[in-house]
Structure 1
Amino acid sequence: MTNEGDPARGPTTGVTPYLSVVGGKAAVDFYKRAFGAEEVFRNTADDGERLLHSRLLINGDWVMLSDHFSEMAHGDYVPPSAVTLHLEVDDADAWWKRAVEAGATVRFALADQFWGDRYGQLVDPFGHTWSVASKIKA
């Protein structure tokens, strides 16, 4: 793991993406199928449906998420901004295939790039953009 922490506490240093979604349980299920996420902590709201907080390990690092709570955020859900979550992986083709089969849509096709990566971008069903890359084998 590059971002220190342990499953009991979560990340303790660095910058950790914290995603706001509509449909937190479905998002966790998607990230498990698409990116091999391991959910190490879940706290569910009193309504039994929405997630107050979930901690995931994806590709050896932390991603946290929760459902959007309009009553706490003082307004409606705002779709994700122009942020891309980058996955540097051992086999971009395998990660790409798994994510697309899980329901991600292609934003920028996976291909060999001039800078030496096999690289592409996907959008998950919750509106977040992910890039997938691995070094091109020489």
Structure 2
Amino acid sequence: MSDDPATQGPSSGVTPHLTIPGRGGEAAIAFYSRAFGAKELHRHMAEDGERLMHAHLLINGSSVMINDEFPEYSGEQNIEPRGVTLHLQVDDADEWWARALLADAVPVMPMADQFWGDRYGKVRDPFGHCWSIGGPIKG
């Protein structure tokens, strides 16, 4: 198997697969690229040419899959993400935090030094998904 992530499938282990409300998948790819440095590996549009059927992103070395919602397959419409936080363990939490806020993420828990030894905070992306950002305390 190739070492090039662009030719590989999802990383081993658990790979999050995010359903983006409505037809926000392409906007989500742009947001994750700006906020978290996502690299787009694959994108497949639905037969209607308007909805994102599947995209494979690489964020901080890990695979993340996304798609627009498809009520005809899931029976659900106007989905609302809840109950899950995606965690990014990074080298410089403040840098990643600032980049996420510049890309229009909304702070949920302020970035601060935590008792377990990380700089840590949480943001919500424009699509309703919660992301925590943590890294070593500098200094």
**Structure 2 equivalent of residue 89 of structure 1:** 90
Contact 1:104 1:125 (C-alpha < 8 Å) held by counterparts: yes
- Distance in 2 (alpha carbons) for counterparts of 1:50 and 1:6: 25
> Counterpart in 2 of 1:37?
38
In the TM superposition, residue 12 of structure 1 has moved relative to its aligned partner by 5.2
Shift of 1:120: 0.1
Count of residue correspondences = 135
Matched, 1:119 2:117: no
Equivalent residue number for residue 55 of structure 1: 56
| SS in structure 1 at match of 2:97 | helix
- Give yes or no for contact 1:112–1:136 (8 Å, CA) kept in 2: yes
Over the matched positions of the two proteins, sequence identity in percent amounts to 54
Worse overlay, 43-52 or 120-129: 43-52
Q: Which structure 1 segments of 5+ residues have no match?
A: none
1:7-46 → structure 2 map (5 Å cutoff): 7-11=6-10, 13-22=12-21, 23-46=24-47
Tell me, which stretches of 5 or more residues in structure 2 are unaligned? none
Per the TM alignment, residue 7 of structure 1 is displaced from its structure 2 partner at its CA by 2.3
Query: Is the 2:107–2:124 contact (alpha carbons within 8 Å) kept by the matching residues of 1?
Result: yes
Distance in structure 1 (CA, Å) of the matches to 2:134 and 2:20: 24
Report the Cα distance in structure 1 between the residues aligned to 2:74 and 2:117, rounded to whole angstroms: 42
Q: Which moved more, 1:43-52 or 1:17-26?
A: 43-52
**Per-residue CA distance 1:27-67 (angstroms, 9 max, x = gap):** 00000000000000000012222110000000011000100
Moved over 3 A (4+): none
Q: TM-score w.r.t. structure 2 length?
A: 0.91
What TM-score, normalized by structure 1, do the two folds share?
Answer: 0.92
Partner of 1:68: 69
In structure 2, do the counterparts of structure 1 residues 12 and 100 end up closer, same or farther at CA, with 3 Å as the change threshold? closer
* Partner amino acid, structure 1, of 2:15: T
Distance 2:100 2:136 in 1: 19
SS of the equivalent of 2:7 reads coil
Looking at structure 1, the residues matched to 4 and 10 of structure 2 have their Cα atoms a distance apart, in angstroms, of 4
